[in-house]
């Protein structure tokens, strides 16, 4: 199933429906998020930062900044040509719908005019296309380290893709 999500994104990108993240970018994010996800779950806070290219053209992730239980803010470094944001969604909480990017996540990426990556307590990795205002799973539950307390299905069925409007409805925003 993990590769199926990437395939769905590639097919949609080829059709012009959404932006497809660069394969090198996705590999960096998945690798970088392994340890960051564990730390996020253990500390029960969000971590955030940026993905971009240094002056030599090498793709890099910035050092993660610690946020709060349900928020995180970081400044993009000037010496990096930033292409995406990234952040985690802390530990699993039965009272918080954390298995999808929030509408605020999408709005923040749109305001910054960059795509984004979001890791969830269940170990999902999402890509946010700020231009189309939609998000899709790069890989499903368990592809990144999951919170041992995570209860699969507790948030109901998680679709492979959501538009901003669908997320607003799902998360109770209209």
Q: What mean pLDDT, rounded, does the chain reach?
A: 88
CA 82 → CA 40, 56, 115, 154, distances in Å? 23, 14, 10, 35
Average pLDDT of 27-51? 96
What is the extent of the structural domain holding 103?
Answer: 2-170
The CA distance from 101 to 164, in Å, is: 10
What's the gap between Cα 65 and its chain centre? 15
How do residues 54-109 score in pLDDT, each as one tens digit? 999 999 999 999 999 989 999 888 899 999 999 999 999 988 889 999 999 999 99
The CA distance from 162 to 134, in Å, is: 6
How do residues 110-169 score in pLDDT, each as one tens digit? 999 999 999 999 999 999 999 999 999 999 999 999 999 999 888 789 999 999 999 999
Structural domains of the chain, count: 1
Left if phi > 0, otherwise alpha if psi is -120 to 50, otherwise beta: which for 164? alpha
């Amino acid at each position: 199933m993990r590769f199926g999500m990437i395939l769905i994104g590639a097919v949609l990108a080829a059709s012009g429906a959404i932006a497809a993240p660069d394969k090198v970018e996705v590999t960096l994010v998945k690798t970088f998020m392994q340890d960051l996800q564990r730390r996020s779950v253990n500390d029960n806070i969000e971590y955030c930062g940026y993905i971009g290219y240094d002056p030599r053209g090498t793709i890099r992730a910035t050092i993660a900044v610690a946020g709060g239980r349900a928020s995180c803010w970081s400044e993009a470094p000037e010496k990096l040509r930033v292409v995406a944001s990234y952040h985690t969604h802390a530990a699993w909480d039965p009272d918080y719908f954390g298995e999808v990017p929030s509408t605020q996540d999408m709005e923040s990426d749109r305001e910054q005019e960059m795509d984004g990556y979001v890791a969830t307590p269940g170990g999902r990795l999402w890509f946010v296309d700020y231009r189309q205002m939609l998000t899709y799973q790069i890989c499903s539950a368990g592809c990144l380290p999951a919170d041992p307390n995570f209860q699969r299905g507790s948030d109901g069925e998680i679709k492979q893709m959501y538009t901003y409007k669908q997320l607003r409805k799902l998360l109770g925003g209209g």
